Structure 1
Amino acid sequence: MATSQIETVSTSADKAKLAAAGLLVVGGVAAFYLLGKQDLWLRVVVLLVLLAAAVGAFFTSAQGRELTAFGQDAIKEMRKVVWPTRPEATQMTLYVFAFVVVMALFLWLTDKTLEWVIYGLILGWKH
């Protein structure tokens, strides 16, 4: 199994893009509240425009391109997965429900037994 090493080189342009994206997000939120006396639709439009600009700035940076590549690789891997059929999924769900019921009964029985031993036999308390 080969291990892949990812080498990241962060240029000052990428750092500037990330800083711009962060400032655009902060600016969008600030503008939303500073325009408090304006109509709601205007405040929302300003917020969405600045957030879209922040997303655009992020995805033009190296980190944004890496995130896009990661997403594409994840989609490729998802296509390789063999999903269970409906009867298999139903059967496994029933197994899980049965296990939960058995564990609940076991824990209840254990709790009642310990309660009886500690309070009834050891301490002599009556309920």
Structure 2
Amino acid sequence: MADKLKVALAIFLVAAGVVGFYLLSDQALVLRVLSVLAGLAAGVTVAWFSEPGRRFAEFAREAVVETKKVVWPSRKETVQTTGMVFAFVVVMAIFLWLTDKSLEWVLYDLILGWK
């Protein structure tokens, strides 16, 4: 129950920062933005000490570790793959254009007799 209250309080603090942005409409933009950032920082701080916050932090750490394990393609592989995708798109565009024109010719000229 305490974690639910912490998460609810965190959401309330973020919302309070956003509401502060609009309530301070006659103030300088820097002050208004600071209101949002303060609400966001307070909300994140409260959420950090809840069980869901700790689980999220652990998930984020694991995601960074997994990202470091990824073998990224080289520049040459990336250029070759991009070229193949563009070539496939061009071939499919020509195929679909030819199919469309063929069906148009069959439908309009042969079946309906329109010219």
Give me the TM-score of the superposition, normalised by structure 1.
0.84
1:87 corresponds to which residue? 76
Structure 1 regions of 5+ residues with no counterpart?
A: 1-11
Q: Is 1:58 aligned with 2:47?
A: yes
Bigger Cα displacement from structure 2, 55-64 vs 108-117: 55-64
1:70 corresponds to which residue? 59
Residue 38 of structure 1: how far off its partner (Å): 2.1
2:51 partner letter: A
2:34 corresponds to which residue? 45
Separation in structure 1 between the aligned mates of residue 39 and residue 113 of structure 2, nearest angstrom: 70
Separation in structure 1 between the aligned mates of residue 28 and residue 74 of structure 2, nearest angstrom: 51
Residue 109 of structure 1: how far off its partner (Å): 0.6
Residue 23 of structure 1: how far off its partner (Å): 0.6
Separation in structure 1 between the aligned mates of residue 16 and residue 43 of structure 2, nearest angstrom: 10
Separation in structure 2 between the aligned mates of residue 90 and residue 59 of structure 1, nearest angstrom: 42
Separation in structure 2 between the aligned mates of residue 36 and residue 82 of structure 1, nearest angstrom: 49
SS of residue matched to 1:102: helix
SS of residue matched to 1:83: coil
Give me the TM-score of the superposition, normalised by structure 2.
0.92
Q: Is 1:116 aligned with 2:101?
A: no
Q: Output the aligned Cα RMSD.
A: 1.2
Structure 2 regions of 5+ residues with no counterpart?
A: none
Separation in structure 1 between the aligned mates of residue 6 and residue 64 of structure 2, nearest angstrom: 26
1:47 partner letter: V
Identity of aligned residues (%): 57
Bigger Cα displacement from structure 2, 109-118 vs 39-48: 39-48
Larger helix share, 1 or 2: 2
